Chain A
């Protein structure tokens, strides 16, 4: 089955220690998104890639970076995690972001704990 895969499902890191979260997709979608979801809150878009074009949300902290080496993979790098970065990180894909109304399909998420 075509799907969005996130690894690891659970990640524990120390305050200030860089961490990388991974997302892969077998849907061959052009657009990949990263959302942050804190407990009992709405998912919040951090950034997205339309093919190789990177689009950062204005309020995404500089501490968050992303890489998309090819169509299938996208990485979220947190350079110096703080306690406030503990959250569920969701990866999503859509076929074509142009116009914005294509359905976004989500992976299972990575739960990040910062000690």
Chain B
């Protein structure tokens, strides 16, 4: 059974304090790894898709990387508006199913 584990569960940063969120996965045949941002009471918002080890993608203060066992979401000089839950999800096999981790709740304070 595919498993996705995110750490830490919660992270509190001061504005400007860079850090990384981890998503480790145990799957058979990774086809894609997705990062989403979810604000309280809202649906997940798509950030990145990574398909193969060594791939990196960037968007503003966020950078996602992928290895054969895990993915990192690096947040550089975060701002309070980056506060949200960040979800990682994988797609394996031929199914259209996203298997999500439970997320990392990020809080960025002034």
Contacts and interface: CB of A to CB of B under 8 A. Distances in A.
Decide whether A and B assemble into one complex.
Answer: yes
In this complex, the interface size class of chain A, counting residues with CB under 8 Å from chain B, is: 20 to 34
A100 B101 contact: no
B51 to A, nearest CB: 7
A30 to B, nearest CB: 10
Contacts of A31: 96
Given A100-B31, A101-B31, A108-B42, A42 B97 contact: no
A48 to B, nearest CB: 6
A107 B95 CA distance: 21
A99 interface: yes
Interface of A: 4, 6, 31, 33, 40-45, 48, 50, 55, 57, 88, 90, 92, 94, 97-109, 111
14 contacts: A41-B102, A42-B101, A43-B87, A48-B97, A50-B96, A90-B44, A100-B93, A101-B51, A103-B49, A104-B34, A106-B36, A107-B43, A109-B42, A109-B43
